[in-house]
Chains A and B, each alone.
Chain A
């Protein structure tokens, strides 16, 4: 039996690696995805481009602008002089927001009259917009607070000069400590997830297409007349891709550690063990797809149908706790969700089996069920 498995294994490896372009394509997409997620995909907002519209032109309005620029989060890239300028800047997307200081700003502030600073935010990208709104109100609030503190001190002083000692007014500070990813880099969050994503894409699709291809061009018949048994055929068809999957994990982990300097705080061994657990589900799903499709086109479309929801409901790019509650329940049906949690836990949080066992158990149950059922179905379709 082992002899026959190794034969089919070798045939499969030769077939997958025979064409030079295919060899490249097995390992290039993971690397490209990794590079894009590591370098390009960035939800962090800093150096937002803003336009400045100053209708007051006083020391105080210039002070406010200095605070915006000094916050390190805003770059003033344009000066708007009129409403039309504002419209044009936002329509063309030259700046994310326009800050408008209205006339008489300084006079109102000095007289102690409440006044406003207008911030017009381009809401097209709601995520960036809410970060930008938050940052700009923070800058303005700090500015306001310092103006207020100055004013109050002056007022108390003039009222009762002797009370100057008693000026202390409490201020409550939020001291934040961010765990696991203190600099808040998107990269640290995305790159570990890519590992999970890539194994699913590579193994599921390769397995399904490799089998369907034999059906489509008719070589399946030739395989059936050889003494090979279905189980052996199945193992021979899936093991090479399991191998490719594991190699991809090693490759991506290596690049993540060396190029991106993502911390790996947990155990490497556990990472590979969990990858194997997940591979069972992924290969099983690939086998299953091969049993329901007759042509590669169908397999490809079906694959797209499986992987897209799996990807989107995994918490890879979109946090699960932001989803509606019903959809959150749905994510528990998604094996990729558990694997992504494990990978992130291992990389960022450095947790071990004690925190991860529920996810691992879920993956194991999924793996055994999916692989088992698909194997039975595969067996049947061969007969």
Chain B
């Protein structure tokens, strides 16, 4: 391998990249766009649930219960219904998510000391939101019920009694439970994977399609030099992208960075090397750009997005799919990013992940050069 020839390919590829300003601009804008969208717009946190209340009872006691819902920050009581009809229509049209029905005999049951029921009607289409809302609704009624019981007990027994056992929750690493703290570190990893695949998957397929591969072949270039040279050029773009993504994450979103910056940089470089090599491997396998793009999407974007544990928790997947996630490199880098950003852990916890990424990068690099070799002869 000659340094001069490597340098020549590197410079040639850089020219390709800088000449196409539109693509380069978009490559740098993609991370910013994705971070802004995810950080500002997307949230799995549920509050202000649009709710409609149907109070059949209409007494002071039932209004007291309604006030519990109105006072909770989790519910946004949109109004009162005078029958089941408006609730059904509201749910059908996605105007409301929940209906609360207080039955006619509610206050009589309560004052006579019988158990009373409140009906909660819930749109279950979005199961995640629905189960969170369900929890809120049960908490509101349970707390109210406990209060009511205690006060009635106290009237009768004359002694104050607080609930004997209380749950004291402490949330570690992300104490305000903000989804941006959870999403942004993982997102940076996913962005790197996407950029790497988008950038490199076309690079060799394009040379084949345009016929310039023949020209490259007639030069004394060796496959390793072509792969490395092309990769170094895209590595630069990838580094700029990671820098942009990190800065936006830290300064625009204020995501805490608790661990070592050096470890972060090393992990990003190792991961990017592997991801770029994978893109080049695909590009050398597929001879058309369309095919390369599709393969890139399928083999990098989808797994990185869905199987890396970036939003969708791996623990809840069925065992077979959990086993598959072990061969998705993005999974390891997402773990590393979240570990460094949120938990502030170091190499002693993350060495396994980093070792896998390094191994993956080396393997894919040799696969890519082998593939080039086969294509050349």
- Report which A residues bind B (CB closer than 8 A): 19, 21-22, 25, 28-29, 32-33, 36-37, 39-46, 48-49, 64, 90-93, 96, 109, 112-131, 133-138, 140-141, 143-145, 147-148, 151-152, 155-156, 159, 163, 166, 168-182, 184-186, 188-189, 205-206, 209-210, 213, 216-217, 293, 295-298, 300-302, 304-305, 308-309, 312-313, 317-319, 321-324, 327, 330, 341, 344-345, 348-349, 351, 355
Contacts and interface: CB of A to CB of B under 8 A. Distances in A.
A25 B122 contact: no
13 contacts: A25-B295, A42-B313, A91-B343, A113-B164, A123-B182, A124-B338, A126-B182, A141-B142, A168-B113, A172-B148, A176-B122, A209-B290, A318-B42
B220 interface: no
Contacts of A170: 109-110, 113-116, 145, 148-149, 152
Contact of B122 (A127, A177, A213, A295): A177
Contacts of B171: 120-123, 129, 133
B132 A134 contact: yes
A131 B133 CA distance: 10
Interface string B170-211: 111111011101100000000000100010001000100110
B44 A318 contact: yes
The 6 closest A-B pairs by CB, nearest first: A123-B174, A181-B124, A168-B113, A134-B135, A43-B128, A178-B124
A90 to B, nearest CB: 6
Contacts of B42: 312, 317-318, 322-323
Contacts of A186: 127-128
Contacts of A301: 22-23, 26-27, 30, 198
Contacts of B132: 130-131, 134
B94 interface: yes
B115 A144 contact: no
Nearest to A35: B321
Contacts, number: 387
B312 A42 contact: yes
B57 interface: no
Given A49-B315, A123-B175, A173-B141, A131 B131 contact: yes
A183 B141 CA distance: 22
Residue among A96, A129, A156 with most chain B CB within 10 A: A129
A258 to B, nearest CB: 19
Q: What does DSSP make chain A's interface, helix, strand, loop or mixed?
A: helix
A174 B316 contact: no
B109 A19 contact: no
Contacts of B129: 319, 322
Residue among A46, A127, A144 with most chain B CB within 10 A: A127
B139 interface: yes
Contact of B306 (A40, A109, A121, A206): A40
A190 B309 CA distance: 17
A144 B288 CA distance: 66
Given A121-B169, A141-B167, A181 B130 contact: yes
A297 B121 contact: no
B169 A136 contact: yes
Contacts of B94: 341
Given A301-B26, A305-B33, 8 more contacts: A43-B44, A43-B312, A114-B163, A141-B163, A170-B113, A181-B125, A298-B26, A355-B92
